[in-house]
């Protein structure tokens, strides 16, 4: 168990607890209401993952294509010029699946959370009114949005 995880395992589900766990998993965060000024929209990939359980909702992840390509290179051992759009999509959705599953597993709940199938989404479907958490990595920035049903 990672340092700091124990305090979340006994906490009830709250959107803030999930955001905090995701930040703990991914890196340093900066809460912003409008991420458009902080990330390049043109080269941003987006995906979402639905979850159900004591609470249900969707987790949306946005990441620059360059960062996703770097992760795909590391995951698959392929050079960047050999990566297909399917490889990039698979890397992005798998990362979201791992992050969401990890975060939800640390929340105290009566019933286990069930994850849907992560799917790519069209970046233009995000209105810009959503409150994203900006996650700062060593190389880039990602944005995470927790939408509760």
Tens-place pLDDT, residues 66-82: 989 998 998 888 888 99
Name residue 142's beta-bridge partners: 135
Record: fold of 6-148: Chemotaxis protein chec (3.40.1550)
Query: Whole-prediction pTM value?
Result: 0.78
pLDDT (mean) for 114-139: 82
Domain ranges for the chain, please list them. Answer: 6-148
CA dist., res. 69 & res. 73, Å (int): 6
Q: pLDDT digits over 104-120, tens only?
A: 887 777 888 899 999 99
pLDDT (mean) for 12-28: 62
User: Does 123 score more than 50 pLDDT?
Assistant: yes
């Amino acid at each position: 168990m990672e340092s700091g995880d124990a305090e979340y395992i006994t906490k009830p589900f709250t959107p803030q607890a999930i955001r905090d766990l995701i930040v703990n998993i991914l890196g340093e965060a900066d809460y912003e209401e409008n991420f458009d000024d902080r990330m390049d929209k043109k080269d941003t990939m987006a995906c979402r993952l639905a979850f159900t359980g004591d609470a249900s909702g969707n987790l949306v992840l946005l990441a620059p294509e360059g960062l996703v390509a770097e992760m795909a290179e590391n995951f698959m051992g392929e050079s960047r010029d050999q990566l297909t759009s399917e490889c990039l999509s698979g890397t992005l959705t798998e990362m979201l699946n791992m992050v969401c599953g990890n975060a939800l597993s640390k929340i105290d709940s009566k019933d286990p959370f069930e994850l849907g199938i992560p799917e790519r989404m069209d970046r233009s479907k995000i209105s810009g009114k959503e409150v994203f958490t900006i996650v700062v990595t060593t190389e880039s920035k990602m944005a995470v949005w927790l939408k509760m049903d």
